[in-house]
Chains A and B, each alone.
Chain A
Amino acid sequence: MQRKFPRFSLLLLAMILAGCLACECMMTKDPVYMDLANSNAAPSRAFLFGTDAMGRDIFSMIWYGGRISLLIGFLATLISTVAAVLVGSISGYAPSWADGMIMRTTDIVLSIPSLLLTVFLQAAIGGEGVYRLAVVIGLTSWMSMAKVVRTEVLQLKNTDYVLAARCLGGGFFHILRRHLAPNFAASILFMVVMNVRNAIVAESTLSFMGIGLPVGVISWGSMLSLSENALLSRSWWMILIPGAFLVTTLLCLTNLGNYMRKSINKRHSNL
């Protein structure tokens, strides 16, 4: 049952990442330049992946916009992971009445549809922009990870070494850093990778629906927000190519995440 190391996924992911980071070398055209004479052009030698309705070169936009999409993915995950670890470990470590209260609150927040929560948060933080969107996505996706952290901490807090650390006068953050975090890190690693994936999905969905990044800020999501137009003009390259990059990245991340998931059981089936 030992999972194979997802070599191919990792390689592909590294290639996409490298291409996006080094987008200056990859780009054949200026991604923000609107070449109105060549708008809606099909893929050709001049425009490898064609151009969009505003005449921007899609090949260059993919690498340039990928940087933003991936940045939001990682930044939002950083925020949600920190929030999840803090809330989860405080809740698990606190006396049971406080634990109950924190968990109830988490449940109530979870019962607000995530789209509404996003709209509220966005209105509250205000404005449009890459960092703001990352914060909004991060703040709406920490709940389920917090629950896992809490369950782990509940089990860990009664172990002898944590008790010993407390007797020696170790503060909460010291115990969290030295004793709790190393122990639950393995079980949330999978969720961290999945959160990167979910954040990228969230960015693209929100931008597509017109409440994420504006069309002017190039990302995989905002590129796809023009696809209503593309459907009318039958410009398939505008939909299929950015989407293919998006799905490939997500698939590689999922394979990586699945590999990191704790193996359920290494014994053989009795069937």
Chain B
Amino acid sequence: MRRSYITIIEELIRFVLSVFFLSVLVFTLSRVAPGDPLYAYYGDRVEKMGTLEQEAARERLGLHEPIPVQYVRWVKNAAHGDFGISYQYKRDVKEVIAGRLGNTLLLGGLGFVIIFVLALLLGLFCAWREEKRADKIVCGIGTLTSCIPEFWLSLLLILVFSVWLKWLPSSGAYSMGAEGSLADRGRHLLLPLTVVVLGHLWYYAYLVRNRLLEETRADYVLLARMKGLSGKQVLYRHCLRNALPSYLSMMAIAFPHILGGTYVAETVFSYPGIGTLAYESARYQDYNLLMLVSLMTGILVIFGNMIAEILNERIDPRIYLKTEAQQRR
């Protein structure tokens, strides 16, 4: 028990260090990269400004100091919850993000839940019908979907469902004047959600399938079969239970990826979310916005990895024992 406390403290220290390095990295990279943040703030008016005016504007935004000084000031302000203003939107970055966070959480979160359930079901089905026709068909379709780039799938869906059939809207998160309507929201969500789900689904379903196939070759399956359990019962009761820990830890890592991987769908469908915001802020040197967005996604990734590691150790003590044995050696 003592040991596990130590691991948790160790993990925490590692977490803080990782976040620190991540923030330094993003801060430096974004400022070293060429491009002028004044354009984000003033637009094309910058070209009409004199050198002195530009200097004054830079000083107002605090961009004239050396990078380490800027970083220290940013950390000091961030500690008080002040992340600065977005140059492009001229509002507190927290407000800008808060206005869009819900949309991305809805798209990515819903996508994650669907992927989580469907991948497990598809994996189970394929493992059950291994090398039979049904398995081969599902694997074939799955491989095909995994080969379609997300942006092209989006175009295809828009072409078929919005342009040809005119069933679903092609862009936005809701129609004008129907902000509160749930049905309208759902109609707008359907196509981007399909893209997010199909973009990731087969990768995870195939992993589940292969993991289960490994299990079905273990000796305990033979024993359970000899006891008189049917193949299906063994698959559900024993194989699935053994494969589940690794699946859970895998999905902990997958969560930030799916949530953060919605930007292509968001861009093509003009869906107002964090993904498009991150992309804009990186392209147009909107430093403060960029810092907060990449810190948020970065923390989510690091957090997901941590949970995966803890899950692995907690649910499957064999991994823990194995590392301990390695350390002793």
Contact = CB atoms under 8 A, between A and B. Distances in A.
A204 B279 contact: no
A159 interface: no
B222 interface: yes
B279 A108 contact: no
Interface string A106-143: 01111111011001100110100000000000000000
Given A116-B278, A209-B151, A224-B155, A231 B170 contact: yes
B241 to A, nearest CB: 15
B147 to A, nearest CB: 4
B148 A247 contact: yes
A212 to B, nearest CB: 11
A205 B149 contact: yes
A258 B203 CA distance: 12
A152 B43 CA distance: 52
Contact of A112 (B25, B159, B263): B25
Contacts of A126: 34
A108 B213 contact: no
Nearest to B285: A123
Contacts of A239: 152, 155-156, 159
B122 to A, nearest CB: 17
Nearest to A209: B267
A51 interface: no
Contacts of A115: 263, 278-279, 282
A116 B275 CA distance: 10
B325 to A, nearest CB: 15
Nearest to A258: B143
Interface size class of A (residues with CB under 8 A): 35 or more
A126, A224, A227: residue with the most chain B Cβ atoms closer than 10 Å: A227
A247 B147 contact: yes
Interface size class of B (residues with CB under 8 A): 35 or more
Interface string B15-35: 001100110011001101111
A209 B283 CA distance: 12
A113 B149 contact: no
Contacts of A267: 217
B282 A119 contact: yes
Interface stretch (B65-73, B185-193, B293-301, B312-320): B293-301
Contacts of A205: 149-151, 264
B104 interface: no
A130 to B, nearest CB: 19
Contacts of B147: 197, 247, 250-251, 254
Interface in B100-114: none
A111 B130 contact: no
B54 interface: no
A124 B264 contact: no
Interface in B140-167: 143-144, 146-152, 155-156, 158-159, 163
A111 B26 CA distance: 11
Given A104-B18, A201-B149, A247-B152, A112 B278 contact: no
Nearest to A120: B29
B210 interface: yes
A120 B282 contact: yes
A168 interface: no
A55 B35 CA distance: 34
B294 A271 contact: no
Interface in A78-113: 104-105, 107-113
Contact of B302 (A111, A120, A201): A111
B99 interface: no
B260 interface: yes
A265 interface: yes
A215 to B, nearest CB: 16
A231, A264, A271: residue with the most chain B Cβ atoms closer than 10 Å: A271
A254 B302 contact: no
Given A120-B29, A271-B216, A224 B146 contact: no
B218 interface: yes
17 contacts: A111-B18, A111-B301, A112-B294, A113-B263, A113-B298, A116-B294, A123-B34, A123-B35, A208-B151, A211-B283, A240-B159, A247-B148, A251-B144, A268-B217, A269-B217, A270-B218, A271-B231
Closest 9 CB pairs of A and B: A123-B33, A270-B221, A111-B301, A250-B147, A119-B282, A271-B231, A111-B298, A269-B216, A251-B147
Given A111-B22, A112-B26, A231-B163, 15 more contacts: A107-B302, A108-B22, A111-B297, A112-B22, A123-B35, A126-B34, A205-B149, A205-B150, A224-B152, A236-B159, A243-B152, A258-B143, A270-B219, A271-B221, A271-B231
